[in-house]
A = this chain, B = another copy of it.
Amino acid sequence: MPPLYPVIMAGGSGTRFWPLSRQRTPKQVLAILGPSSLLQDTVDRIRGLAPTEQVRIATNARQFKVIAPQLPELSPANFLLEPSPRNTAPCIGLAAVHIRKRDPDGIMLVLPSDHIVRDVKAFQEAVRRGVEVVERHDPLVTFGIRPDRPETGYGYIQYVPSQEELPAGVHRVKAFAEKPNLQTAQMFLQSGDFYWNSGMFIWRASRILQEMEEHLPEHYHQLVEIERAIGKPNYQRILNNRYRRLRAISIDYGVMEVSRTPIFMLAGEFGWNDVGSWDELYRIASKGKDGNVAVGDTVALDSHNNYIYSPSRLTAVIGMDDVLIVNTPNATLICPRSRAQDVKAVVDKLRQERKDKYL
């Protein structure tokens, strides 16, 4: 078995599922699609790929309290606590120095904690192909997802069909594209050369740290200081002190888009979805009568294609179409499904008004 270290990034506190997701209950700890949370599903998804003691959950102290009880099979040693949120590059860097210190050949499988994957077997096969490529070529590997619609909410990866001897579904990356407008997204879809950037990666810890040394040298310098302190009494003090200095930046922007090392794309065909908004959740949920999705006690008269989440009380609708209704104990959201992404604006307004009890 190769030295694989799954790193699940669970520190996010997204606002797109407000009012269900809150600072203390971010999306990844919610059971929005079944009996278990997205984080629990993510941990289940890697079962068998690596020994449990090699799994790392990257999160922060506040969320640790919510997350740890969801993962009773893990021990405190499985968690990496970020002193403060700094986006994905510092988070991945922190995991990488821990893994490199323990195992200089360690391979990281970097996964967000709030995506869904329908076909776990196909996912694990893809991971195994990715590991094989990493062991043979030591590249950066990213998971691309074949688009089925001109989505403007994702970044895209342009690839060149493989001419080398690479495992099936592994291709060279030509370029990364930021979130496109609709016209560009339609062109990407038609061309067939563009896959969605899923934010999942495989690489050696040493490889990504070399990349950071080249492209994010300030970050690398601090990370090495942290690495030196691992296992020593002053670790926590050094971590707190150094991590806070790191500029928040994503791994895509900080490394992937500027790297000169070969990047390979694994074409993922495993029913991936990032469940990025309430509307996306509506799209993938199974519909009831009149196209409505209803969670909890609801009455819907002359109403079609609504998403109604109301586990703790009755929600009655009359003559409403294509609307999103999220009814939680202390806050209710109502908007057209097409405006689900504007939920952030409500959260911003509540922040401005310091209405912390709703955040």
| A160 beta carbon closer than 8 Å to chain B | no
Stoichiometry, copies per complex:
2
In chain A, positions 329-359 with a C-beta closer than 8 Å to chain B are 329-336, 339, 342-343, 345-346, 349-350, 355, 358
**Closest B residue to A318 using CB positions:** B335
* CB <8 Å contact, A334 and B315: yes
CA of A346 to CA of B327 in the docked complex: distance in angstroms?
18
Contact string against B for A residues 311-323, beta-carbon threshold 8 Å, 1 for contact and 0 otherwise:
0011111111001
Known interface pairs A299-B349, A299-B350, A349-B299. Does A316 touch B342 (Cβ–Cβ under 8 Å)?
A: no
* CB <8 Å contact, A334 and B334: yes
By a CB distance below 8 angstroms, the chain B residues around A335 are 317-320
| A268 beta carbon closer than 8 Å to chain B | no
* CB <8 Å contact, A314 and B334: no
* CB <8 Å contact, B314 and A355: yes
Known interface pairs A301-B342, A301-B345, A345-B301. Does A334 touch B316 (Cβ–Cβ under 8 Å)?
A: yes
Selected contact of A319 from candidates B19, B336, B349, CB within 8 Å: B336
CA of A301 to CA of B342 in the docked complex: distance in angstroms?
9
**Closest B residue to A340 using CB positions:** B318
Known interface pairs A318-B339, A334-B320, A343-B318. Does A329 touch B301 (Cβ–Cβ under 8 Å)?
A: no
CA of A132 to CA of B355 in the docked complex: distance in angstroms?
59
**Closest B residue to A306 using CB positions:** B334
The minimal Cβ–Cβ distance linking A335 to chain B, given in whole angstroms, is 4
* CB <8 Å contact, A317 and B299: no
In chain A, positions 158-190 with a C-beta closer than 8 Å to chain B are none
| A107 beta carbon closer than 8 Å to chain B | no
| A310 beta carbon closer than 8 Å to chain B | yes
| A38 beta carbon closer than 8 Å to chain B | no
* CB <8 Å contact, B345 and A332: no
| A325 beta carbon closer than 8 Å to chain B | yes
Selected contact of A320 from candidates B299, B319, B336, CB within 8 Å: B336
* CB <8 Å contact, A314 and B331: yes
CA of A59 to CA of B317 in the docked complex: distance in angstroms?
32
By a CB distance below 8 angstroms, the chain B residues around A349 are 299, 301
By a CB distance below 8 angstroms, the chain B residues around A332 are 310, 313-316, 325, 327, 332
The minimal Cβ–Cβ distance linking A320 to chain B, given in whole angstroms, is 6
Selected contact of A342 from candidates B318, B331, B345, B358, CB within 8 Å: B318
Known interface pairs A319-B335, A336-B320. Does A314 touch B301 (Cβ–Cβ under 8 Å)?
A: no
**Closest B residue to A341 using CB positions:** B318
Residues of A within 8 A of B (CB): 19, 297, 299, 301-302, 310, 313-320, 323, 325, 327, 329-336, 339, 342-343, 345-346, 349-350, 355, 358
> 16 A–B contact pairs at CB < 8 A?
A19-B316, A297-B355, A299-B349, A299-B350, A301-B342, A301-B345, A314-B331, A315-B334, A317-B334, A317-B335, A318-B339, A318-B346, A319-B335, A320-B323, A320-B334, A327-B332
